[in-house]
Amino acid sequence: MTKPAKAKKPKAKQPLKKGIHPNSRKAMKVMGAALRQDRLAARKSSKLQKRQIIVNKLEWFRDHLEENTKKLTNEEILHLIETYFRRFDSELEQISIVHGIKGRKSQQHAARHDVISHQIETDERDFNTCGIGKI
């Protein structure tokens, strides 16, 4: 004989979770933790951007060195650095050609020109002050 199936007992309703009051200590703690995570993420991304700038510079120098170069003379180093400073010359020339077209009231590519100029000034200042400018 089989036993008759037992009727399942109805489960007691779970009490609803109450929300956190916005002015409570717990809410302040949660908001503080979220703000800290945002701050840490911003700091991490700024560090990554700074490192990426250095990596880009080093890659440029690596790409422009000859394969079997063991040691560079001071003149070769200076020539390589001057070439690095002039890496945007063709782009600046193209921008000046666009600016030279008659009938243009506004300057196209002004933002890019400013970025390039600032980058060149920064690189030259770094080279002359804290770089290897006294070769």
pLDDT, tens only, 62-89: 999 988 888 988 899 899 999 999 999 9
pTM beyond 0.75: the answer is no
Would you list the DSSP string of 94-130? Answer: HHHHHHHSTT--SPTTHHHHHHHHHHHHHHHHHHHHT
What's the number of domains the chain is made of?
Answer: 2
Residue 39, in any domain of the structure? yes
pLDDT of residue 98: 83
At residue 110, the pLDDT reads 85
Report yes or no on 117 lying in a domain: yes
Tell me if 12 is assigned to some domain.
no
- Note the pLDDT of residue 95: 87
pLDDT, position 127: 87
Model confidence over 9-39: pLDDT tens digits? 777 777 777 888 999 999 999 999 999 999 9
- What is the domain extent for residue 28? 24-66
What are the tokens at 79?
A: 């020539």
Same domain, 59 and 77: no
Residue 8 maps to a domain: no
